[in-house]
Amino acid sequence: MADAIAAKGPTAPAPDAARVRHAKIVRDGFSRGFLMRPAAPGATSPADDPDAPLVAALRQGDERALAELIRRHGGRLRTLVLRFSGRRDEADDIVQETFVVAWKEAARWRPGAAPFAAFLTRVAINRAIDRARRARLWRWTGLAETAEPEDPAPGPEAAMIDAAETRAVLDDIRTLPDRQRAAILLAAEGDRGVAEIAATLGVSEGAAEQLLVRARRTLRTKLAARQDAGEGDQT
Amino acid sequence: MTGSTRQPLSMSRTEFEDSLDRHGGTLAQWPEAERRAAQSLVLSDRDAAAALALAARLDRALGALPAAPVELGYATRIAARVADRMAAPRLGRLAAAFGTTALAASLVAGFVLGTTLAPTDDASTLAALVLPDIDGGSSAGTSSGGTL
């Protein structure tokens, strides 16, 4: 997790006041049309967003800027989506799609609107949710060739799961409804408040809080059941 | 944040568990009034204490979720795939533009040909070939066959 947080760069833990301001900027940016919103005086300055120069370069078609944005955010997004879906191929596809969108939308992005990193997160998690819905639909219609595998092959990421409990919790997370899953994973990234999670998912703060409460309740219940089962096995 | 001047409220187990799922398993991060009520409950209710411990375990597990490894060259690989995707639509747009142009050209050509070429007497010729001579003339199509 420390790696994931460290990889976030622009959204590293900040003091409370700054975090509140950041969440407000994200919320306002999303609610007003994330990219088109002109810079609001006093809201933030381009200097507040370390990605602004790269987005400006990307607007000119600079592929090196794209590579740098991917270097900054690709790992974080890959982690988020991989936690969500458990599929590396899908995670890479979604990261790729996210940066295709980033490139296409770069011309419309305005410094001073919501941070570009938050925009990337929103695109990635919503793509992941869309894919999960489509996969369920295909399975429901019986047209899917096979059920969606979870971690089809033990890859390097499996080796990083150093505790059985963490692994079990991750498995539990993947059984949650899409939006609950997305909300709890966004929260687990460490420094997101309810306002930013709500903005990322495009729901109200109250709805985001309910998603988090339900997700935590389910996860806690399952953890308790495993604990009880473990104690039962020992007796 | 609830004001610190409020007296700690009593809290039922249900309320405690709701707050647990809302604020997490670290009481220090709870709003003050709820925290004080929760502390009182935890001291007197073993099940509440167990629920708090479980929530703290969940928090630790969520904080320890694995990060995806980023292999050497990952950014370059994804950047190349993105560049390919960005190039493909351009070709698609080119093909679409070509197709539209070709369709428009064929429509114009058809209109021009249809309106400018002088009609021949093909209408009467064609009629003679396919229609019987309704006047009972000596058309090839009207032999001396009998009647029904």
A60 pLDDT above the threshold of 80: yes
Query: Considering the domain boundaries, does residue B141 fall inside one?
Result: no
> Is the pLDDT at A179 greater than 50, yes or no?
yes
Q: What is the average per-residue pLDDT within A71-86?
A: 93
A126: nearest Cα among A71, A192, A54, A181: A181
Cα separation, A120 vs A98, in Å, equals 6
CB-CB neighbors (< 8 A) of B30 in chain A: none
The pLDDT of residue B35: 94
Instruction: Check whether residue B124 and residue B80 sit in a common domain.
Output: yes
- Cβ within 8 Å, pair B58-A219: yes
The pLDDT, as a whole number, for residue B68 is: 84
| Residue A171 token pair | 């498995």
If asked whether residues B77 and B122 sit together in one domain, one would say: yes
With an 8 Å Cβ cutoff, are A213 and B76 in contact?
A: no
Domain count along chain A:
1
DSSP letter, residue A107: G
Number of domains into which chain B is organized: 2
Q: Closest CB to A156: pick one of B24, B58, B69.
A: B69
pLDDT tens digit string along B57-76? Answer: 999 999 999 888 878 888 88
Tens of pLDDT along A15-54?
455 555 555 544 544 444 444 333 333 345 556 788 999 9
Amino acid identity at A52: A
The amino acid that residue B16 corresponds to is F
For the cut 60, the answer to whether the pLDDT of residue A151 exceeds it is no
Does residue B42 lie in a domain region?
yes
Gap between the Cα atoms of A211 and A63, Å rounded:
38
Full domain range(s) for residue B54: 13-63
Q: What is the pLDDT of residues A212-234, one digit of tens each?
A: 999 999 999 999 999 888 766 66
For the segment A169-183, the average pLDDT, to the nearest whole number, is 95
Mean pLDDT along residues A204-210: 96
Alpha-carbon distances of B45 from A44, B16, B29, B33, B49, rounded to whole Å: 48, 11, 21, 18, 6
Q: What is the C-alpha to C-alpha distance for residues A81 and B98, in angstroms, rounded to an integer?
A: 39
The pLDDT tens digits for B102-121 are: 677 777 777 776 766 655 44
Q: Is there a domain that residue B29 lies in?
A: yes
Q: Domain range for residue A219?
A: 2-234
Q: List residues of chain B with CB under 8 Å from any CB of chain A.
A: 17-18, 20-22, 24, 51, 54-55, 57-58, 61-70, 74-76, 78-79, 81-83, 85-86
